Structure 1
Amino acid sequence: MKKAIFLFFAFFLTFVGVSYAQNYELNITNPNYQKILINVYNLESSNPVLAQKVKSVIVRDLNMSGFYQVNDINTTLSNPSNVSGCNYAVFGSVSESNSNVVLDAKVYNVTNQKIVINTKITSNNFAWVSHKLVDNFMLYDTGIYGPFESKIIFSAGNKKVKNLYIADFDGENIQQITHYNSNLLLPMWVTNNEVSFTGYLNNYPSVYLLNLSSSHITNLSSNSNFSENATYYKDGLYAVSINKNSNINIFLVNKSGQIVKQLTNNHSITISPYFTPDLSKMVYVSNSEGSPQIYSLDLSLGVSNRLTYDCQNSQSPAVSPDGTKIAYICAGSNFALNIIGINGGNSENIISSYYLDSPSWSYDSRYIAVYGSIDSKEGIYIINTINGNFSLAIGANKLYSDFGGLDVSKKIN
């Protein structure tokens, strides 16, 4: 099932999903990127099963980052000065204390012959200590903190019933968070404890807000027979696409679903609001000039500018957390994941395939999670926008037969 314009028209005109072929190919931007070599050694521990779990997450994260080639070494390391043939060595120990996992980790710079990271990380989640180590190492090595402490929320199931799931950024630790006999689609993180989604809980598509702690659900569009997508603005207000007076426009609503302000006034279909981090602009999709394209609204001036001109249908815009660029899907006979500057200009193609959907940035503004397929392996992929490296995070065959959107948290969880 497709997001944005195609999914929207399916809702608005027929309320029926769309299916697509399953055999795809994908092109990447830089397959010859030279990766940094890292040896990851066994972690000393009185619990070897736990130590192996922690090590496996470290290896998976480093490989998924796209910057490193990992050698999984099946032995412990006592003297790092003896290491050669790689750039870094990761070693240390794992212990348990008061139901917590304690990772005492070290990273040795083989070239400079010194330990560059010496840290102790504690959590009740073994995967999180591994993610934290890799993110800190990426900060040291690249100057930017890594993305692996973020979470992916996604919609999956079959054509009639889809529910919401949360997973770690590497695709592990999948948890189902809703259990409705309905279609729940287009989830988006609002805060670390709230997500919005489009659902058919009242027999027509409405936007809801879900509190993850209490499981309480609020209807953000109770006065409309159609609404799509909710993005948090500020001061308890949300931008929602609502059918009003036979046009779909974007409105600010409060938690009671009451309209506070109309943001767009198009005689067309206007959906997929997304704010810049400084809240100066709102990016959205509209077919006001014929085909679906991406626009930017200056919220202080009330002036809109068209940003995309390079394809037949531009959809699913996502603003990077650093506020400098927009990822979107260029849809035509094939699909392309493109990036454009926040003020428009020439677009950069990251990947192309027969089908791509729902791009979302990690909080470090380097990675994009996107739904698609590589060599007939359909699922959620993590794309490194720096060098084009991609990794399958969640394979569709493991969990679901039909997809309904995803979003990546923009704050560390």
Structure 2
Amino acid sequence: MTRRFVVSAIMLLLMGLLMAPDRLTAAPYDTIQVSNPFLNKTPIALPAFKALTGSPAETRIGAEALETLENGLAFTGFLKQVNPAAFLADPSNTGIQMSQINFSDWTGIGAELLITGGVEEKDGRVKLALRLFDTFNHQLLKGKVYTGPPDQVRRMIHLFCAEVSHALTGKWGVFASKLTFVSTVDGNKEIFVSDFDGHNPTRFTRHKSISLSPAWSSDGQWLAYVSYAGGKPDIYIRHLEQERGTVIKRDGMNITPAWMPGQDKLAVALSFSGNQEIYLLTRQGEMIKKITSSWGINVSPQFSPDGGKLAFVSNRSGTPQIYIKDLSSGEVDRVTFQGRYNTSPAWSPDGKKIAYVGIEKNRIDIYMVQLDQGPGMPVQLTRNQGDNEDPAWSPDGNLIVFTSTRDGRGGAVFVMTAAGTDQRRLMNMPGRQTQPRWSKPMTYKE
């Protein structure tokens, strides 16, 4: 797979079309799939934004917007930013339109893609003009203009990041999604919700107790979680914005909720009958059916993206391992065979992979197994950097968010590509953060 895969593939689809005119629209073209995390990343140049009237406010807003763009595009998982020290041109001085760009300045340093930006500030309003170019073929791939108050610049940039992702992959990426996670507050554990990148964290629960295992509904409107607020683990189901919901308080332990894709139903692990078994419930907590039945403990259910299968953890073989049950046939297959302790299955959005937590030689790390290739050796994604747990996939399948103790704090949220590369801390908050979960893909709204 060559480094120019993205651009060359695009141009095969564009062959025969005229070059796009120099305006903030892009010629229609078919999209390609570049979301495979094992592809070489595509180099993209992100030069300084142009202050269109030259005011200090525009320069300041442009610098902040560029930083937001750089951070945002890191969440595509398939773009690599070219070092600005290598730039041979400065569009903030020479111009940001196609006729003002010498594309050889960018191909000469290996940049296959280029984004130029212009900022105009007037009467408390900001106009942001952004263009995405294919440098090797002198092609405008996407151009947009956004207008709004200065406090909306971050949102404007993320809207354009979504446009970039969609132009190159046909997917809107993570930019309209949310994160939920657990954070310590005054010695308690509470549920928080934030933007996709950990910004703007908002406290969701105030139980002043232990709250765990947050899970998003498919529409992003509901959270299910476990809380000890009543003295034992019960499952709370709450609307994200409205004051309504349900508490599941059956005898015993009520834990590990997981929503069924596209349904107001969820799988939970309950122990009211003795062993911990997995049941399907309505959003109101009404029993639909029992899903597992074995002498062992069955917990941590996770539905496949199509809702037809359920991954879960069971010790029916003697040690905790991951299994998959086909909900139509009832057939159960064991997924993990390496290691004596494997938990926390997380299904990729394409249904082809499961990330999970495994313990090997007293080290807790994240692994991934490919389901569509039959039984095989798992791929280890983290190693030699503290304990790593709680994997969850991004909506587009390019990234995995997880918890790590590598910074010595006892738990912080990190993110990596689905290949295990580019591991970095996602947020900086007081206390310890664990159990991050990205919301499902939401409708893209401009």
When the two structures are superposed, what TM-score results if normalisation uses the length of structure 2? 0.77
Q: 2:102 matched to 1:81?
A: yes
Contact conserved, 1:285 with 1:292, CA < 8 A, in 2? Answer: yes
Specify the alignment match of 1:281 in structure 2. 309
State the partner residue of 1:133.
160
In 1: Cα distance, 2:301 partner to 2:124 partner? 42
Distance 2:253 2:119 in 1: 52
Aligned to 2:272: 244
Tell me which amino acid in the other structure corresponds to 1:342. L
- Tell me the residue number matched to 1:14: none
Matched, 1:44 2:72: no
SS at match of 1:41: coil
Larger RCO of the pair (alpha carbons < 8 Å, separation 6+): 1
Contact 2:192–2:204 (Cα < 8 Å) also in 1: yes
CA distance in 2, matches of 1:137, 1:387: 23
Say which of 309, 332, 338 aligns to 2:367.
Answer: 338
Task: Name the residue aligned to 2:128.
Answer: 103
Q: How many Å separate the matches in 1 of 2:296 and 2:123?
A: 58
- Say which of 232, 251, 261 aligns to 2:289: 261
Identify unmatched segments of 5+ residues in structure 2.
Answer: 1-36
How many angstroms apart in 2 are the aligned matches of 1:97 and 1:218?
49
Letter in 1 for 2:442: I
For residue 382 of structure 2, the aligned residue among 337, 351, 356 is: 351
Q: Is residue 250–residue 272 contact of structure 2 (8 Å, CA) maintained in 1?
A: no
Partners in 2 of 1:100 and 1:362 — Cα distance?
33
Q: What one-letter code is carried by the residue in structure 2 that aligns with 1:385?
A: A
Q: Output the aligned Cα RMSD.
A: 3.0
* Whole-angstrom distance in 2 between the partners of 1:97 and 1:178: 41
Which stretch has the larger CA shift, 377-386 or 349-358? Answer: 377-386
2:102 partner SS: helix
- Within 5 Å, which residues of 2 pair with 1:219-234? 219=247, 221-233=248-260
Counterparts of 1:99 and 1:287 in 2: how far apart (Å)? 61
Q: Is the 8 A contact 2:48 2:63 kept in 1?
A: no
Distance 2:120 2:190 in 1: 36
2:412 equivalent among 369, 379, 383: 379
Q: Distance in 2 between matches of 1:137 and 1:267?
A: 51
User: Which whole-Å CA distance do the structure 2 matches of 1:250 and 1:371 have between them?
Assistant: 25
Change (3 A) 1:97 1:399: farther
Measure, in 1, the Cα distance between the counterparts of 2:430 and 2:49.
31
For residue 61 of structure 1, give the secondary structure of its aligned residue in structure 2: helix
Per-residue CA deviation, residues 173-232 of structure 1 (Å, 9 max, x unaligned), is 22222233111111111131111111112111111112111143421x222331112112
CA distance in 2, matches of 1:131, 1:294: 36
The answer on 1:152 being equivalent to 2:182 is no
Q: Hey, which of these two has a bigger chunk of strand by percent?
A: 1
Cα distance in structure 2, aligned partners of 1:248 and 1:317? 17
Counterpart residue type for residue 180 of structure 1: H
Does structure 1 conserve the Cα–Cα contact (< 8 Å) formed by 2:387 and 2:406? no
CA distance in 2, matches of 1:356, 1:338: 10
Q: What is the percent sequence identity of the aligned residues?
A: 23
Larger Rg, first or second structure (1 or 2): 2
Counterpart CA distance in 1 for 2:299 and 2:38 is 35
Q: Does 1:119 align with 2:144?
A: yes
Match of 2:357 among 324, 329, 334: 329
Match of 1:185 in 2: 212
* C-alpha distance in structure 1 between counterparts of 2:189 and 2:50, whole Å: 40
**Which residue in the other structure is 2:344 paired with?**
316
Cα separation, 2, equivalents of 1:286 and 1:351? 23
Q: 1:99 to 1:231 in 2, by over 3 A?
A: farther
**1:321–1:361: 8 Å Cα contact kept in structure 2?**
yes
| Aligned counterpart for 1:59 among listed residues 57, 70, 74 | 70
Residue 122 of structure 1 deviates from its aligned partner by 6.0
Stretches of structure 1 that go unaligned for 5 or more consecutive residues are 1-29
Pick aligned residue for 1:408 from 438, 441, 444: 438
CA shift at 1:288, angstroms?
1.3
3-state secondary structure, aligned to 2:161: helix
For 2:189, the equivalent position in structure 1 comes to 162
Q: In the alignment, residue 370 of structure 2 is paired with which amino acid? A: G
After TM superposition, the score normalised by the length of structure 1 is: 0.82
Q: Between Structure 1 and Structure 2, how many residues are aligned? A: 380
- 8 Å CA contact 1:40–1:71 kept in 2: the answer is no
